[in-house]
Structure 1
Amino acid sequence: MSDETPLHGAGLQDRGLVTVGDTVRRPSGAWSPSVQHLLGHLRATGFTRAPEPLGFDSQGREVLGFLPGHDAGWPMRPRIRTDEGAYDLGLLARQLREALAAYPCPADARWQFVTGAPDPGQAVQHGDLGPWNLLWDDAGAVAGVLDWDLAEPGDPWYDTGFLAWFTVPFMDDERAHARGYPAPPDRPARLAAFAAGAGLTPAELIPIVHRTQSEFARRATTRDGIWRTIRDRGLHESTRADQRWSTRAWEN
């Protein structure tokens, strides 16, 4: 199409995204119909910060409604770095968790790395709920949750733990600086704020993050595709370092 405009984001690789009018076109995979079904459920039940699923175009690309907004940036946007921003992100995790828990996943769903519906005690998760996959409006509110390609059944608390990991953050000051915090954050205050937004106590949230870090490390060392890129960039080792830091920081 002559009216296509490349769309570059903060991901680990160029995924060939383009905008056409008020839509986004992206290469599809065998999992894309299941992702479209999931997004349709979220939109229908009021979670409008997920992209609108619009099927597939004549080239077989997935078509999504365009969501306007700003990325997290470096340093992270001022609102994100406040305790109020940490609360907002905890609340987002809670709202998304509740919306996903109600998703009637088809038994024949096909995801990128697994197939089927959640087992008892599981729910479909976003799978990569980091600040890099969120959009913010001009007032500093979360306006969009992007990139659902890693959605799959799993621990219903995985997304909450993942977002807390990078929001509190559960990592040392050097890693936090690289992730967008220009000065060492007040982690106890941010932990309390995020937990309150998520409907948890800090004592309940800490083991959720530890569990999420372990699961991320497992995926990074046992899967191919995008996970190979993660390994090649040493992010599985960074995860292990974050785990060690987290254990020391919150052991009391």
Structure 2
Amino acid sequence: MVLRLLGHLREHGFDRVPEPRGFDERGREVLGFLPGHDAGWPMRPRILTDAGAHDLGRLARELRAALAGCPPAGPGASMQHGDLGPWNLLWDDAGAITGVLDWDLAEPGDPWYDTGFLAWFTVPFMDDEKAHARGFPQPPDRRARRAAFAAGTGVTPHELNGMVDRAQSEFAHRVATRDGVWRTFRERGFHDSARADKRWCEQAEWHDAPR
């Protein structure tokens, strides 16, 4: 499924995913190489700016559009990356996003899940201690970054709040109820962490404003 999905994306103009190259003699999937750097710690300077937050929102919008026509999905659903965090993105030396990696958790679902998930970890929708661990050396201006991300992805900040809230709930549910790699996530307490982020957001003053 992953090779077909990557092929669909590239055929429809989204070339920031690895090129699918079939299977090797041992039946393993073969992918092309994508150049770029990881987010780093602290995150790369461009990512930490409001312009960088806008870039991330625009990426989510472009990926959402490219995935919209990819079967299989179903009524009201679309294919989703499923793990669209900064750890699965690549950047060039200037800070432009060059790649989206690791499609193993791709599946049909809410077409806005990836958008909410990416905003969760890059606005970020979590407390300062967790944000620092994720790569923000100083407490971020979440209100400004939320506005920039929302503008990049084509929604209001208030709408983005709802998308993040749903992504946090859905991720926690997946971790708590699924097997495979999700069992490892459960053992690491990722579902509890997601619920804690959701509770923190519900109490955060910056999160309340609908503007």
Out of 197, 203, 207, the residue aligned to residue 242 of structure 1 is 197
Q: For 1:59, which of 13, 17, 26 is the aligned residue?
A: 26
Amino acid at match of 1:118: A
CA positional deviation for 1:119: 2.0
Q: Quote the offset at 1:100 in angstroms.
A: 0.3
When normalised by structure 1's length, the TM-score is 0.81
Task: Give the partner amino acid of 1:158.
Answer: Y
**Aligned partners of 1:59 and 1:119: how far apart in 2?**
33
Larger radius of gyration: 1
2:42 to 59, 75, 81: 75
Q: In structure 2, how many angstroms separate the alpha carbons of the residues matched to 1:79 and 1:124?
A: 29
2:151 partner amino acid: A
**Percent of pairs identical after alignment?**
73
SS of residue matched to 1:240: helix
Q: Which residue of 1 aligns with 2:129?
A: 174
Deviation at 1:248, TM superposition (A): 1.1
* Cα-to-partner distance string for 1:26-83 (whole Å, 9 max, x where unaligned): xxxxxxxx11111001001110001100111011111000001000111111111100
Give per-residue Cα distances to partners, 1:136-170, cap 9 Å, x unaligned. Answer: 01110000000001000000000000000011100
Q: Secondary structure at the match of 2:66?
A: helix
- The whole-number CA distance in structure 1 between the counterparts of 2:144 and 2:13 is 31
Q: Which amino acid aligns with 2:96?
A: A
Match of 2:74 in 1: 119
Question: Which structure 2 segments of 5+ residues have no match?
Answer: none
- 1:152 equivalent in structure 2: 107
CA shift, 1:251, in A, is: 3.6
Measured in 1, the distance between the counterparts of 2:166 and 2:74 equals 18
1:20-169 equivalence runs, <5 A: 34-103=1-70, 105=71, 117-169=72-124
> In 1, distance between residues paired with 2:190 and 2:109?
21
Give the TM-score taking structure 2 as reference length.
0.96
Shift >6 Å, 4+ stretches: none
Asked if 1:232 is matched to 2:193, the reply is no
In the alignment, residue 38 of structure 1 is paired with which amino acid? L
CA RMSD of aligned residues (A): 0.8
- In 1, distance between residues paired with 2:150 and 2:21? 35
Deviation at 1:102, TM superposition (A): 1.8
User: Which protein has the bigger helix share?
Assistant: 2
Unaligned runs of 5+ in 1: 1-33, 106-116
Counterpart amino acid of 2:139? P
1:206 and 2:161 correspond: yes
